[in-house]
Structure formats: C-alpha cells, structure tokens
Amino acid sequence: MINTATQQQQPSALLAVMKEAKRAIKPLIWFSAGINVLMLTGALYMLQVYHRVLGSHSLETLVVLSLMAAGALMTMAALEVVRGRLLATVGTWMNARLAPVLLTASVEYAASAPGQVTARPLRDLDQVRNFFTSPSIFPILDAPWSLIFFAAIFLMHPWLGWLALCGGIVLFALALLNEYITRKPLAESGNAQMRAYVKAEAAIRNAEVVQAMGMLKPLLENWKVPQDQANKRQVLAARRGGAISAFARSFRQALQMAILGLGAYLVLQNEASGGIMIAASILMGRALAPVEQAIATWKATVGARAAYKRLVAIAGQYPEIKPVLPMPRPKGKVEVENITLGRQGGEHILKGINFQLMPGEVMALIGQSGAGKTSLARILAGAWRPSGGRALLDGMDVAQWAAEDRGKYVGYLPQDIELFAGTIAENIARFAPLNPVVFKHVVRASQLAGVHELIKGLPKGYATEIGEAGAILSGGQRQRIGLARALYGDPALLILDEPNSNLDKEGEDALVVAIGIAKATKTTIILIAHRPNIVAKVDRILVLNRGQQDLFGPRDYVFNELAIRASKVAHMPNAPQLPTLEVVKDVKEFKEVKEA
C-alpha cells in the first residue's frame, strides 16, 4: 500500500528525469563551445591567406594553413556528430523513462474521467523528444556563443562591430515579434485541432453505429467546426510568421551587403584590408545564424514548449514507477465507510454509503438506472477514487493500494467488457507472460467461467486472436471471457457489473455455477444484476436510490421490505421517496422466485 504523504514527498517523474538530464548539459556546453570556436576557421583562414600568403607568395605557408584549416574543420564535424548523438541519446532515454509514467497517468485519468480517453501525453513526449533530436534546438545551444563572433568583428574594426551588433539586435527583435504575434493563433489552432481529433476518434471508434444509423454527414459537419477553426488560426499564424521571416531574410541580405560595403569603404580609407572585409562578412553571418534559425524553427520551438508544459501538468503529479512490495493475500473482508463521490459542479453521484461484508459473502447491488451502482463498483475495484470516505479490503484502502499488487486479488467485470487485441489466453491472463504455470491458471479460470469448451471450439483455441476490443467475438462470448479474466488467479474479491447482460440461458447457467464455486472458496462477491435467478442466490442486498443507500441487509429482509414498499406504491403512485416501478417489478419477480 502506498502512503499518501510519502507519495506527495516523492519528486515527480518529470522533475527526476529533468534533474538527471542536466548531466548532459555540461558536455553539450563544451561541444557547442568547441564547434563555435572552430567555426572561426573560415574567417581566420581568409585573413591569413590575404595577409601572409598573398603578401609573401609563400606556397609552403598556404599548404600549412590549408592543412590546419582542414584539421579544424574535421574536428568541428566530429564534434557536431558527437553532439547530435548525445542529443539523440538524451531524447531516447527521456522517452524510455517517461513513457511508462505518462501511459499510467493517461490510463488513470481515463478511468477517473470516462469519455476523456486520450493519448496526448505520449504525443507530447514524442514532440519534446523530436525537438531535442532535431536542428530546432541548435539555435538555443549556439546563441550564447554569438558573442565570440561579435567580439571578433569588433577587434577587426569598431565600425564593423557596431554594424553587426545593431543588425543582430534588429533580427532578435524580429524573432521576439514573431513569437508575440504567432503565440495566440498557434495555441488556439492546437486546441481546436485537438478537439477535432477527439471528435474524429469518437466517430471511428463508433463506426458501426455511425454507418448503420447514417450519422456520418452530421458528424462531419460537427467535426468541421473545430477543424476549420484550427485551419484558420494556423493560416493566420503562417501568414504572420511568413511575413516576419520574409522581412528577416531581406534584412539579412541587406545587412550582408552593408557590412561588405562598409568594409570596402574602410579598405579605401586604408583602415582595413581586403581580408578583414571578407572575414567580417563571414563572421557576421555566423553570429546571426542562431537568430535566423530561431525564426525559421519558431513553430517547432513553440510546439515543444507547449507540449512540455502539458507534460508538467500530467507527469508532474505522478512519481516514477517503482517496484512495490507485495502485500499478503487478503481474506476478502470488505468495509465501506461513508463513501462519497461528487462530479464537477458539486452534485453528488454517491453519498453516505456504509456496509460491511465478511469473506465468502455474496451481495447484490440493485437500484434504478442512474442510482450509482456502477460508480460504487468502480470505487470498490479501485478504478475510481472517492471524494470522501474509504473502501477497505482487509483493512487496506483500495484507493491507496498499488494497482499492480491489488489487481492480483481483485477480479472485476465491468459493464463494458474491455477486451484487448491479442489472444484469448493473453486476455484471460491479464497479459501476464505466458508460461505453463500461467496457462494452467488460464484454463482453470476458463473452466470456472464455463467457457473452456467454447474456447476449444474456436479455430486456434486459446491462441485465437480476437482483434481490437474482441471484435471477432459475439457480445456473449466477450462477456464470458471477461468473466474468466475476472476469475483468473482465484481473487479474494470478485466484482461483477451486469455479468449476464449479454448471456443466453447456457451462459447464464454457467455464471450461476461460477458464482457458487467462487462462494464456496470464500471469495467475496459483489454483483450488479436484476434477474431473479442470480439475485435470489445472494446473502445480502444493497439498494441504492439516487446515489444514497436506501436499504442494506440480509436478502430476505430486503425482499420483504421492498415488497411492503411495492404495495404502498400501488396506493401512492406519486410518492417521491419510494422505489421506481422498475424496481417494484423486479421485487415481484424476486418474491415469485422465493416462494417457488
């Protein structure tokens, strides 16, 4: 079990990774310094050729200078290769460290916010990694060393230095202006594009319904609204950024001509040589290169910065995944203490739920639609965290218990079966590495669920690939395989949410047998169901009414109490505090089964 205070004291995974990544900063600084110093080679070679070779007509001097320049350029190329590999290694390492944390965060967020399924954190991580491994980061690494080139130009002649520096300031101002006028439209475009992606993914995910009910055209119209908005803001940002880039390129060419013209003037005035004129032009080009590159790659830089901020919001809340110490197997005692669950806006889904189950007891959870049954089941399974109160399994809070350890002892069959692409054996084994021992447990779970013979009749048996979400299986087959997955490993607590909603008579009989066997082995069972042949087998019943606990107790007591209320409903049809007619109808069926 994870202690909350300890978890809050642990640094987040992102902060831990970035702290370790700082180790690469020092070598990156040294490599960048070496690269930029060696980029002076061209200008120095030009000066020496003009001053020493042309003046002395010495072929030996030219050969030596050329060899020295070639050696410097080869060294610079080697440093570039090493720097690029270092950046690629850092990006890959960061992805390997953070991807599991972000996937965990995405799964937990999706579990706590149904309908908000998204893999955006992983896409954001890819964007940040790609930024580290692309030329977009080079302006950031090279910009501080531009001062070397400006200083070298000043040493050649102050006028040339001031011209280059003023030109650099103007280009830097253009880069800031580019960021200012494109920031808002790019952010709006990104948000609109994400809304469009969500709508498109929903349409693809529900393609069967879309095609069957002719919903494609209205969905396209609905999708086009954020898509058009994203395109418009993207075009606006591109126009503004394009105008700045075009002006910057023109200004850069004009500046290059200006420094050549000024250099020529100084040569005519005998204040500089032809070598200084050419070298100053080369050095100025190198000094302004990071600013020019920054303008050209600004969109990628802004995107990576926004992605990093989103990663901070997600990964900044989660510690790095570490192995957890296994807890002893629970016996199955369930205690629910004043569970409360609220939705945004303050409205309560559940309020004041209290009950206790001993190991081996079977409880039915009933109530009208929207009463909060599935929400309570999700809390008991550990998929959701309650707003208040606790759900305890053998005295341990399931919300604070590490999921990979708790999952060994809890079997859960949700309303949406949620199978995964892979084989039947992998799904039942919860994707544990298959080996003879694991497969033995898979077969045992299938036999308990009464689905072993069905699986053997499939083309490849347990090795049958079921497709995404179990697409090749019928609804009843998916539900029975989901039951086998829930029974895998002989859980101490079994939670079944409408386990017979898609079953035929054969499947329902197998379900009743499975519940009986699990009960005999002292497995605590909580099931949401209305059909009398299942509910009549339970020990206790919890009735929920509009998120609140209405009745809880032994099966016969609850049946009798509901029968009394049902008789009152006949005389008081508009009574607001009494069960709905749907529940009353179920109660009458329960009584018939009981009397039979």
Q: What is the DSSP string of 552-574?
A: EEEHHHHHHHHHHHHHHHHH-TT
Output the pLDDT for position 203: 80
CB 223 within 8 A of CB 165: no
pLDDT tens, residue order, the chain (596 aa): 333 333 444 556 677 777 777 777 778 888 888 888 888 787 788 778 877 777 777 888 888 888 998 998 899 888 888 888 888 888 788 777 777 777 777 676 666 555 454 567 777 777 787 787 777 777 877 878 888 888 888 888 899 889 988 988 888 888 888 878 888 888 888 888 888 887 887 787 777 777 777 788 888 888 888 888 988 988 888 888 888 888 888 888 888 889 889 888 888 888 887 778 888 888 888 888 887 777 777 777 777 787 777 777 766 666 655 666 677 888 989 999 999 888 766 678 888 899 999 998 999 898 888 788 888 988 888 888 888 888 999 888 888 887 778 888 899 988 888 788 888 898 888 888 888 898 999 999 999 888 888 888 888 888 888 887 777 888 888 888 989 999 998 899 999 988 888 788 888 888 888 888 888 889 999 998 777 667 777 889 998 888 888 889 898 888 888 777 777 666 655 554 444 445 445 555 555 555 55
Reduced 3-state DSSP string for 135-170: HHHHHHHHHHHHHHHHHHHHHHCHHHHHHHHHHHHH
CA-nearest of 569, 563, 541 to 553 is 541
Cα distance between residue 481 and residue 466, in whole Å: 11
Q: Which residues contact 185 (CB under 8 A, 6 or more apart)?
A: 233, 234, 236, 237, 240
> How is 260-326 classified by DSSP, letter by letter?
HHHHHHHHHTTSS-HHHHHHHHHHHHHHHHHHHHHHHTHHHHHHHHHHHHHHHHHHTTSBPP---PP
Strands 388-393 and 493-497: unpaired
CA-nearest of 361, 366, 421, 354 to 391 is 354
Cα distance between residue 127 and residue 77, in whole Å: 27
Output the pLDDT for position 582: 52
Burial 381-416, CB ≥16 within 10 A → b, else e: bbbbbbeebbbbbbebbbbebbbebbbbbbbbbbee
One-letter amino acid at 118 equals T
Output the pLDDT for position 112: 59
DSSP-derived letter for residue 11 is P
Strands 362-366 and 388-393: unpaired
SS3 (DSSP) at 523: coil
> How is 316-383 classified by DSSP, letter by letter?
TTSBPP---PPPPPP---EEEEEEEEE-TTS-EEEEEEEEEE-TT-EEEEE-STTSSHHHHHHHHHTS
Cα distance between residue 205 and residue 127, in whole Å: 25
Element (H or E) spanning 387, and its range? none
Phi-psi region of 32 (alpha: psi -120 to 50; beta: other; left: phi over 0): alpha
Which domains does the chain carry? 4-315 (1.20.1560.10), 332-409+492-502+513-596 (3.40.50.300), 419-490 (3.40.50.300)
Cα distance between residue 237 and residue 299, in whole Å: 9
pTM score of the predicted model = 0.67
DSSP-derived letter for residue 53 is I
Which phi and psi (to 5°) does residue 553 adopt? 165, -170
Cα distance between residue 140 and residue 291, in whole Å: 9
Burial bucket for residue 35 (CB in 10 Å: 0-12, 13-18, 19+): buried
One-letter amino acid at 327 equals M
Output the pLDDT for position 8: 42
Burial bucket for residue 176 (CB in 10 Å: 0-12, 13-18, 19+): exposed
Output the pLDDT for position 467: 80
Element (H or E) spanning 495, and its range? strand 493-497
CA-nearest of 323, 312, 446, 387 to 15 is 312
